Amino acid sequence: MLAKRIIPCLDVDDGRVKKGINFVNLRDVGDPVEIAAMYQEQGADELVFLDITATNEQRKTMADVIERVSSQVFMPLTVGGGIRSIEDMQTMLRAGADKVSLNSAAVNNPALIQQGAEKFGSQCIVVAIDTWWNEETEQYDVMVKGGREDTGLNAIQWAKVVQKLGAGELLITSMDADGTKNGFDIALYQAMDEVVDVPLIASGGVGKVEDFSEVFQETNVDAGLAASVFHFRELTVDQVKAHLREQKVVVR
Amino acid sequence: MIAVIDYDTGNVKNVMKALTYVGLESILTDDADEILSADGVILPGVGSFGPAMDELNKRDLVPVLQEVVQRKIPLLGICLGMQLLFETGYEFGQHQGLGFLPGKIVEIPAKEGLKVPEMGWNQNEVLQPASRFAGVDGKFTYFVHSFYADCPQEIVVAGVQYSTFIPSVVSQGSVVGMQFHPEKSTDAGLDLLKAYKGMVEEYVDTRN
């Protein structure tokens, strides 16, 4: 049976892994190759690299980072942040990425999902959806621009649409849960599972190992992603996996 | 030198990076002389069975690969590259494969709660403990595929449980196939590439 995947996310700025709170007070965490190798050692199943500045110039730096990481670290690599065209996808895939993740660009230009899937295969195209629960309309809204702008789109409907366009995987971040360390937004993933047939990655809210067992036991998500708890060494991937094994969740 | 077959398929560079990492130099080529003088040949592949065979035919690579097998040059097919080693593929119609291994490539059966494509890490069970690839027993490797090899058990070194039993490593003589991506399977995958390297070294010894 397939193992549930644990995915550390690395925020990259100017060729270095950085970490801040809400993109301010960025702190240098280290060299991407060293950090990726450390996560491989800990038993991470996949890595997501997020280009947090995402200017044209930075994209070249990011491609170089991926080139270097993929020469030393042998697991699936996903690149997101500022990918707006087929050429951007091509650049990252050629550099050694296995998948690219589209977020705002998918909302602005949904055809890009289909074009990417046709050219590179659905397995290469991840659509990232940032969402929060809108109390007034009682729906999950799709947020863009790093969670700063509410599109008013219904995230559940949007998940259906991007799947139809050819997204091979969905990375769903709960902006409500993100940064709280109170655990994943279980209701969100249960709702998503009703409409999603492709692999689903849960993101946002991790504070402790039990948050991972909860999301895998209460929902059908395939993977859990976290950034800060891993970066700041509050948790290691092997700790998470040891806990999941105890809880009879299949992990690698 | 390992010849990685160039037929316009995706992400070949990651295979080459992993080969470099385990100490095998490689070139990406569709040149018959380069392929036939190589110490080992790798058929990579991401995409769909029919177009991939068309591309091999367009580049006149089918007779070259037949010659590779005849000369017993270790041939490793990865993912779609493994599937092409079989007789027939049923992805979007029926297509003739290379026919180096007995069997056919069919769609993974649907089963409640299991997604197709199978995408992620699955655990290998070895059926042939004497194989040089038997080290994969109990290890997880990374899969991305919607079709699998329906083939005689004699050639199945290892497999994984999904909606059906899926052969993950197949081998017959100098021909080897891996359904997963060894270049994306961390230590377990690198160990398999090292085992392939052992095959290559033995071939080089017999050739000299």
Average pLDDT over residues A122-136: 95
Q: What pLDDT sits at residue A216?
A: 98
B129 touches chain A (CB under 8 A): no
Q: What pLDDT sits at residue A53?
A: 81
Domain chopping of chain B, boundaries: 2-207
Selected for mutation to probe chain A from B162, B184, B191 (highest A CB count within 10 Å) is: B184
Overall CATH class of domain B2-207 = alpha beta
Q: Closest approach of chain A CAs to the CA of B206, in angstroms?
A: 31
A211 is catalytic: no
User: What CATH number was assigned to the domain covering residues A5-246?
Assistant: 3.20.20.70
Asked if A2's CB is within 8 angstroms of B121's CB, the reply is yes
Nearest residue in chain A measured CA to CA from B123: A1
A222 is catalytic: no
Q: Place B195 in a pLDDT band, splitting at 50, 70 and 90.
A: very high
Per-residue pLDDT reduced to its tens digit, B57-100: 999 999 999 999 999 999 999 999 999 999 999 999 999 999 99
Asked if A222's CB is within 8 angstroms of B21's CB, the reply is no
Give yes or no for residue B11 having a pLDDT over 90.
no
User: Which residue out of A45, A98, A130, A211 is catalytically annotated?
Assistant: A130
Per-residue pLDDT reduced to its tens digit, A168-225: 999 999 999 988 899 999 999 999 999 999 999 999 999 999 999 999 999 999 999 9
Q: Give the separation between CA A193 and CA A177, rounded to whole angstroms.
A: 18
Minimum mean pLDDT among A144-148, B17-21, B107-111, B203-207: which range? A144-148
B117 touches chain A (CB under 8 A): yes
Average pLDDT over residues A29-56: 92
Per-residue pLDDT reduced to its tens digit, A80-122: 998 999 999 999 999 999 999 999 999 999 999 999 998 888 9
Q: Place A24 in a pLDDT band, splitting at 50, 70 and 90.
A: low
Give yes or no for residue B113 having a pLDDT over 90.
no
Q: Which helix (H) or strand (E) covers residue B159, if one does? A: strand B156-161
pLDDT above 90 covers a percentage of chain A that reads: 83
Q: What pLDDT sits at residue B207?
A: 87
Domain chopping of chain A, boundaries: 5-246
Q: What pLDDT sits at residue B8?
A: 80
Residue entry with tokens 């999902």 = A113
Nearest to A123 among B119, B161, B162 (CB): B119
Q: What is the ipTM of this complex?
A: 0.93
**Contact indicator for B114, B163 with CB cutoff of 8 Å:** yes
pLDDT above 70 covers a percentage of chain B that reads: 100
3-state SS, residue A160: helix
3-state SS, residue A7: strand
Pairing of strands B165-172, A169-174: unpaired
